[in-house]
Amino acid sequence: MTNTGHNIINDRIIKLFFDAFGNIKRFKIMLFLMNKPMSVFELQNAMNCEQSDISHNLQCLLNCGFVSKKINGKMRIYSINKEMKPIINAIYNYIIGYKKHILACNIISDSGIVIKRQRLDKNGKI
């Protein structure tokens, strides 16, 4: 990306993107949709969440263009947009590969609750 690309994206857009993308339930919905298109009912069962919670998060993902929806009668089937697939794959693989580093970070916290973090030794063990 060139420097001019950074000028097009302002701080507000970056924040909104990561607010939408960084939500745990929305990310999990996208992970499920990576496997196959699903209905709200299927996502509700897979995630053990309320229908309204799934629908609310799907609406955000739709609004942001992360997922798409096909209507078949009364059934709405959601799928991950093709542009998002490599992004989700890359992030998922990064999380798996760098899990110990992420867990060791003493700057971030889990859900606003700061967790006492232990330092990793040179072998990456606590």
The stretch 4-17 carries a mean pLDDT of 80
The stretch 30-49 carries a mean pLDDT of 96
9 contacts: CB under 8 Å, gap ≥ 6: none
Mean pLDDT of all residues in the chain?
85
Which pLDDT score, from 0 to 100, does residue 69 have?
Answer: 97
Confidence of residue 126 (pLDDT cuts 50, 70, 90): very low
Residue 98 to residue 94: CA distance in whole angstroms: 6
Residue 89 to residue 85: CA distance in whole angstroms: 6
DSSP assignment string, 64-114: TTSEEEEEETTEEEEEE-TTHHHHHHHHHHHHHHTHHHHHH-SS--BTTBP
Identify the weakest region by mean pLDDT among 6-10, 12-16, 19-23, 69-73: 6-10
User: Residue 119 pLDDT more than 90?
Assistant: no
Handedness of CA 83, 24, 52, 29 (dihedral sign): positive
User: Residue 110 pLDDT more than 80?
Assistant: no
Q: What is the pLDDT of residues 57-79, one digit of tens each?
A: 999 999 999 999 999 898 999 99
Which pLDDT score, from 0 to 100, does residue 85 have?
Answer: 95
Q: What is the DSSP letter of 1?
A: -
Structural domains in the chain, CATH included, are: 3-81 (1.10.10.10), 82-126 (no CATH)
Give the rounded distance of the alpha carbon of 48 from its chain centre: 17
Q: In the structure encoding, which two tokens stand for residue 63, read together? A: 């609004």
Q: Which residue has the higher pLDDT, 121 or 89?
A: 89
